[in-house]
Structure 1
Amino acid sequence: MNIAVVNSSTITKFVDDKNAFDEFVRGWLAVVDEDGDGVLSRDDIRGIFCKLLPLGYYPREKDEIDGLCESVLERFDQDRNGLLDGNEFKSFMMEIMNALARGIGGSPLVVVLEQGSFLSKAVQHQLATSD
Structure 2
Amino acid sequence: MSVEILDGATIVNFLQDEEAFSASVLNRFAYLDTDNDGLLSYAEMLKELQSLRVLETHFGIDVEPDPDELARVYESLFVQFDHNLNGTIDLDEFKKETKQMMLAMANGLGFLPVQMVLEEDSILKKAVEREFPKVAS
TM-score by length of 1: 0.76
Which residue number in structure 2 is paired with residue 8 of structure 1?
Answer: 8
Answer yes or no: is 1:18 the counterpart of 2:18: yes
- Which residue number corresponds to residue 109 of structure 2? 104
1:79 aligns with 2:84: yes
Identity of aligned residues (%): 34
Q: Counterpart of 1:93?
A: 98
For residues 13-57 of structure 1, the C-alpha deviation after alignment (integer angstroms, 9 at most, x for no partner) is 10111111110101111122221211111111223234x345963
Change in 2 beyond 3 A, CA 1:6/1:64: same
Partner in structure 2 of residue 44 of structure 1: 44
Structure 1: which 5+ residue stretches go unaligned?
Answer: none
Q: Does 1:118 align with 2:123?
A: yes
Which structure dedicates a bigger proportion of its chain to helix?
1
With normalisation by structure 2, the TM-score equals 0.73
Distance 1:5 1:93 in 2: 20
Residues 65, 27 of structure 1: alpha-carbon distance in 2 compared, 3 angstrom cutoff: farther
2:72 corresponds to which letter in structure 1? G
**Which consecutive residues of structure 2, in runs of 5 or more, have no partner in the other structure?**
57-61
RMSD over aligned CA atoms reads: 2.7
Pairs aligned (count): 126
User: Match of 1:96, as an amino acid?
Assistant: M
Q: Structure 1: how far apart are the matches of 2:38 and 2:18?
A: 20
